[in-house]
Structure formats: C-alpha cells, structure tokens
C-alpha cells in the first residue's frame, strides 16, 4: 500500500476512504498549512498527495517525491503547481472544477451587493451605537438593478455570475481572451475590449484565473480608466490586482469601492491599508465555502486519488 499525504484536516469520512487504499499521513490542522519542511519530508515516500493552494509544487517538491503518482489540488485554479514540470516527472495533476461554480458565483453576487449597499459599514454603524435617527441619504449606496456590469473572465464562474445578474436586469459586458458565443446568445452578454470594459462598467467583477496574461491586469492605468462611481469585485485570484494601485485608487476617489475575496497575500497582513477603508470589504477566500460544495471538492480529490492509484484515468486531470 502506498503513502498518501493530506495537508489539511478534513472530515474522517474522507480519510477513511483513503485509508482503505493506503497509509495516510494527515496534517491534523484545518487552519494552518503543513510546514514546508514537513511536507517535503513526507513527499519522500508518498505515492499521492491531497493539497490546497497553500502548498507550492515546484522543482524542489517534485525532486523530493520520487514515488509520487498524483497531486490532487483542492481548488479550480492550479497556479500553485508547476503543471508541466509535474508531467515531466510523470505525475498526474488534478483539480476540482465544476463542483464549486455555482457556490462561488453566489458569493460573487453577495459580495457585490454587500459593497453596493454598504452592508458591512451599515452593520458596524448599528453595532457602534451611531444609529440615532433617520436621514434621506443615510448610508446610501448603489443599485445593481439595470446597472452596467463588466465581467473579466467569462469562464464557468463568470457565466454563473452573469446568469444571476440577469435577475437584476443588468446590462452585461465581458472581456475574455476568447469570445464565448454561448454566453452572448444565452445571457445577452456583450463581448468588449478590456478598455471598453473599464470605461463603461458601473461594476467590474473579476473571475479570472492567474496567468501570465492576467497577472497585475488591474494596475494603476486600469483603475484610472474606470468610472469614479465604479465598484470593483475580485473573486478570481489576488495577483490579478496590483494592490498598491487599488489602494491608491480608493484613497484618491478614482473608484467608489471594492470587495475582495482573494488577495495577493493570504491571510492578509493586518497592517494592510485596505482593512482601514470603509469602502473596502474583505472576506477570507470563502468563494466555495458552503458545506455541500466543500464536501464535493474533497470527495473529488479522493476519487481522483483512488482512480490513479488503481491505474485508471482521473475524473478531472489538469492538462499541461
């Protein structure tokens, strides 16, 4: 029986499935990543590893894993893995697409509404005892109804966000590296250039993965092109945004507000200026965090490991 590394604590019902096919080394903490030195040491005998975005799979990790057959990544994105290098080592890489699409889209729209209607700010206003009377423009926010919404990244999550926005009769435009005719026909989404998206959107929702093309896409020049009343939402990857440029844009009134589920550094540094801004809402990377969805993500990782160790093709391979 092979050795299977699991780098975060997950429910026993999943560990029991893995124990039926191998010896499991579990990092028994749900909140703290497995230390790098411990991870590298564990890889020396591993035939499979179940990882999260916290684990970096690079040349050092792969050279430490002579028996590794599969890396099961509990995420859709895989920018934490050098996929081509893993394939060069004859290691299968898998991810967890599809199962988290709808849940992440729900979070994206929830975050958009929370920022637009100043929900977090309003809750604090009540909790701090500031609610003394009524005023015509007390905590007045922005309407999503019939707004112009630009989606950057029209993959499955982008399309799921767009479907929900149709209920608000939003005017949807999108930018993607390639056109999605199905989104245009089914959702009435308009394909536009990145500049057009920036200049014309009341809301910009980023759902894009991190690639060489998307890294730092939202920089100083991008924020300068947005409407001063624009709201920026990021549920994609933190490094798609130049955070210093975002902070400057908020401070200087270049944009109205932002909502972020992902950041360049996670967890966030408590000295990050975004935490002191009333017009910035930060949540801790909870896009797929519903109980049902997290169960499905973990089960998909387990199923992929079981299949590969049995000499079969995985359900969701990442192609190099």
The alpha helices in the chain, defined as continuous H runs, are: 12-19, 36-43, 59-63, 83-88, 101-116, 119-127, 156-165, 181-187, 194-200, 220-225, 243-251, 291-309
Catalytic member of 8, 175, 180, 285: 285
The active-site residue, picked from 175, 180, 237, 294, is 237
Nearest to 155 by CA among 193, 101, 194, 119: 101
Q: How far apart are CA 194 and CA 215, in angstroms?
A: 14
Distance CA 187, CA 181 (A): 10
Among residues 248, 246, 238, 239, which one has the least CA distance to residue 284? 238
The DSSP bridge pattern shows strands 190-191 and 203-206 to be unpaired
DSSP code of 16?
A: H
Can 175 be counted among the known catalytic residues? no
Tell me: cis bond preceding 275? Omega within 30 of 0 counts.
no
- The token duo for 129 is 């005892």
> What distance lies between CA 264 and its chain's CA centroid?
11
Instruction: Please give the C-alpha separations between residue 149 and each of 171, 201, 202, 284, in angstroms, as whole numbers.
Output: 6, 5, 6, 24
Alpha carbon of 268 to those of 140, 238, 262, 263: distances in Å?
A: 28, 11, 9, 7
Active-site annotation holds for 285: yes
The answer for residues whose C-beta is within 8 angstroms of residue 238's C-beta and 6 or more apart is: 260, 262, 263, 264, 265, 266
Which residue of the set 60, 169, 186, 266 is catalytic? 266
Half-sphere exposure at residue 292, Cβ-oriented, CA atoms within 13 angstroms: 6
Sole residue written with tokens 């995985």: 314
Mind telling me the catalytic residues?
Answer: 237, 266, 285
């Amino acid at each position: 029986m092979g050795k299977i590394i699991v780098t975060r604590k997950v429910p026993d019902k999943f560990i029991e499935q893995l124990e039926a096919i191998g010896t499991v080394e579990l990092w028994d903490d749900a909140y703290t990543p497995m230390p790098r030195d411990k991870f590298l040491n564990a890889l020396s005998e591993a035939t499979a590893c179940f990882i999260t975005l916290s684990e970096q799979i690079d040349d050092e990790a792969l050279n430490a894993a002579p028996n590794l057959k599969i890396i099961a990544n509990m995420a859709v994105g895989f920018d934490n893995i050098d996929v081509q290098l893993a394939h060069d080592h004859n290691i299968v890489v898998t991810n967890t697409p599809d199962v988290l699409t709808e849940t992440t889209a729900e979070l994206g729209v929830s975050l958009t509404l929370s920022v637009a209607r100043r929900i977090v700010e309003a809750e604090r206003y009540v909790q701090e005892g500031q609610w003394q009377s009524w005023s015509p423009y007390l905590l007045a926010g922005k309407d999503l109804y019939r707004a112009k919404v630009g989606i950057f990244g029209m993959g499955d999550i982008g399309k799921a966000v767009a479907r929900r926005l149709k209920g608000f009769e939003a005017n949807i435009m999108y930018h993607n590296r390639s056109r999605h005719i199905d989104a245009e026909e089914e959702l009435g989404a308009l394909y536009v250039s990145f500049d057009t998206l920036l200049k014309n959107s009341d809301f910009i929702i980023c759902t894009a993965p991190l690639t060489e093309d998307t890294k730092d896409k939202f920089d100083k020049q991008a924020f300068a092109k947005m409407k001063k009343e624009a709201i920026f939402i990021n549920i994609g990857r933190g490094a798609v945004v130049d955070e210093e440029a975002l902070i400057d844009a908020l401070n200087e009134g270049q944009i109205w507000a932002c909502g972020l589920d992902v950041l360049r550094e996670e967890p966030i540094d408590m000295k990050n200026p975004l935490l002191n801004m009333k017009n910035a809402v930060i949540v801790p990377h909870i896009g797929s965090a519903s109980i049902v969805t997290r169960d499905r993500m973990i089960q998909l990782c387990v199923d992929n490991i079981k299949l590969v160790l049995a000499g079969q093709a995985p359900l969701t391979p990442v192609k190099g």
